[in-house]
Chain A
């Protein structure tokens, strides 16, 4: 395969995903609601990001592969296009070709007990279906799988010479840990500068961080709205999109702040009008879904939850974070606070990176503040540390008198536990607990 062919192959799935989102954009454009308009805005931001990466590949311009929780504000400040290596499972898991790709991932010979969200990108890398960047910023938390993804990436012949840097996340969450991680982020910047030719301008970083602060402040304000009874939004709009906008695409971009502003206005209007998430189904159960949503089969499950049970997803793991301002008064404070945010605040990293207190303290606070009726730990097959925390979560919930359900499923692959099985377990749980 010559270089041109290899590039085309590497871009094939990426373009296909871009086109899938273009299709979703068309569909969202037909939704004549404020929420529909939010989806349109989000998809436009997403498509813009994707198109920039495609152009970089086609024109041999620098771009990187990275992750959320690796201080994406720095990438924005350096005006560096980037894509998230795990983009497909997190964003594109409903795409029509996913089953084929999951099958391909299985046939690769990696254990089927490795998280699907890790296996899928490995499959794309190994089969040459992921754009090869100028450099990679790797992720080493929250789980064992992410560490191995970086190692397989380095082992792959096509990626072997792609420079790779992984900021090392300490296990503790004190000032010493923050300072250490801040140093790792500084090393990361040097690495990016060396391998992309882009330079970090501190004044520009300040602008980006201030914009990011504005976005996050609006997000935090929006999260307060979800405490209202009834909750103004359910699964369709909220944490997943907010997370994508703030972390995955152009963090610290005014378009992101604009999106949050609109989200907030939309939410406030509904709260003032006393409107719930679903105009046709009254809110009966306020749920904490304590993980990311089941992106692989979301459309088959989430609407059912609302319509069948009046169960509104008031809060989920990706929506919840403690808002930490980035102090932009100096270079040092910015790196310090970026380290703190990316080590301790970012959803999922926040809970799963460190000790189990992070799980239990979040549950207690969310249940209280959001008037949660039931906590569901989906039990994704890739969340091994979470699986070993199930007992602690159960006991925490028992201590605060809220029902707890641990399911056992694959958030990305409905073949692991069928959607019907999940519905059945949830139904039995609600019935058994006298909910709905």
Chain B
């Protein structure tokens, strides 16, 4: 990607977001480390980390088609699992020692079923993710995490102690804190980092060992310190949606003058805006509460739309957002309905909003440019 950031750390992070395999994962494997792929930010990656396993968030990056996965999915399925599964069928995920899913959405949960039948991954599991955010649901997820712990111990012949869990939580929280620091830079009048660059950094965070990532991110923050940011933009935008892991998509938006200063997406604020409680007596319970109740939710969680709406309002204020882009992948029911509600809310609040439907692989750039230009015009920017 094109960038004005002068930072070796950024180069390494951006490179990790550009493909599936990267040198950090390579090194990890060569050192005998295990890697478990996962879908969805509700997966308690801390448990994998505590087991000494590298959690790797699944992407379809680099996919050029779905001709293999089309035998299993259909044209009314989301292109994200289709491309990702296609990459897996091509062997791009042969490096995985396991796959961990949650029952997140209708499309992704079937990745589990199809993967189980067709790919030879040693460990494969789907966790039952509740659909509400109440105390009984947190308790259910606490049990699910306990079961996961047990299965990992059995599969990989190891023990996961509470202390190891606490250490993993601390490490992951450090990542979250550093990422929030990065986002703080974007609150400035002239942010030192663009939205596309930020997304690259966030995606990299799910694709390498946390220690390495944290070190790189610290270096990047140091490199960005005092940098005069871009002035060449017309409006400050927030992007809201789901599985967006392609910085190029945001680049196209930003090329038109809409600087993406914040977000609520699966690789963005929702993964790091709050920390897991490190003081809790029971780390498993702390994780359950975090993933079900405490972190900003997505529309998958039924009884939490008002809190999500408030989260967006807070972000708009904190980041001085001029307009909101709601992106969703075609055939995603969750975000179809969520943006339907967002549109009404933003209209009432006088916040310009545009919904953009897309496919997983960034395409139709011309059309995207036109729509963004039109959006900025209507905003008077």
Contacts and interface: CB of A to CB of B under 8 A. Distances in A.
Given A168-B136, A392-B113, A151 B302 contact: yes
B331 interface: yes
Interface in B121-152: 126-132, 134, 136-137, 140, 143
A143 B114 CA distance: 18
B128 A171 contact: yes
Interface string A164-175: 101011111000
Nearest to A355: B113
Contact of A408 (B75, B132, B344): B75
Interface in B270-299: 299
A144 B105 contact: yes
A384 B131 contact: no
Given A384-B76, A391-B114, A171 B126 contact: yes
Interface stretch (A1-9, A108-116, A298-306, A331-339): A108-116
B74 interface: yes
B71 A391 contact: yes
B60 to A, nearest CB: 15
B76 A113 contact: yes
Interface string B315-336: 0000000000000101111101
B340 A109 contact: yes
B74 A406 contact: yes
B77 to A, nearest CB: 5
B81 interface: yes
B107 interface: yes
Nearest to B82: A388
A391 B72 contact: yes
A391 B73 contact: yes
Interface string A134-160: 000010110111011111101100000
Contact of A147 (B77, B78, B300): B300
A109 B328 CA distance: 14
A233 B105 CA distance: 37
B131 A388 contact: no
Nearest to A379: B74
Interface in A208-244: none
A180 interface: yes
Nearest to B330: A113
Contact of B74 (A108, A122, A141, A390): A390
Given A388-B114, A391-B72, A406-B74, A109 B343 contact: yes
A113 B76 CA distance: 8
A73 to B, nearest CB: 22
Interface in A371-388: 379, 381, 384-385, 387-388
B103 A171 contact: yes
A395 B72 CA distance: 10
Interface residues of A, number: 52
Given A114-B333, A355-B112, A387 B77 contact: yes
Contacts of A172: 128
Given A391-B71, A408-B75, A169 B131 contact: yes
A95 interface: no
Interface in B57-97: 71-78, 81
Interface string A384-423: 1101111110010000000000101000000000000000
Given A389-B113, A390-B72, A392-B72, A147 B140 contact: no
A362 interface: no
Contacts of A150: 302
Contact of A151 (B117, B129, B136, B337): B337
Contacts of A148: 299, 333-334, 336-338
Given A180-B140, A387-B77, A388-B81, A113 B299 contact: no
A168 B77 contact: no
Interface string B94-119: 00000000010111011111100100
Nearest to B78: A384
Given A140-B302, A356-B113, A388-B110, A147 B76 contact: no
Nearest to A359: B113
Interface string A3-20: 000000000000000000
B243 interface: no
B305 interface: yes
13 contacts: A140-B131, A140-B132, A144-B106, A151-B299, A151-B305, A171-B109, A171-B127, A355-B112, A355-B126, A356-B110, A381-B76, A390-B73, A392-B114
Interface of B: 71-78, 81, 103, 105-107, 109-114, 117, 126-132, 134, 136-137, 140, 143, 299-300, 302-303, 305, 328, 330-334, 336-338, 340-341, 343-344, 357
Given A154-B303, A171-B109, A388-B74, 14 more contacts: A111-B357, A138-B302, A144-B332, A147-B333, A151-B338, A183-B136, A356-B110, A385-B106, A387-B77, A388-B72, A388-B107, A391-B73, A392-B117, A406-B74
Interface of A: 108-111, 113-115, 118, 122, 138, 140-141, 143-145, 147-152, 154-155, 164, 166, 168-172, 176-177, 180, 183-184, 187, 355-357, 379, 381, 384-385, 387-392, 395, 406, 408
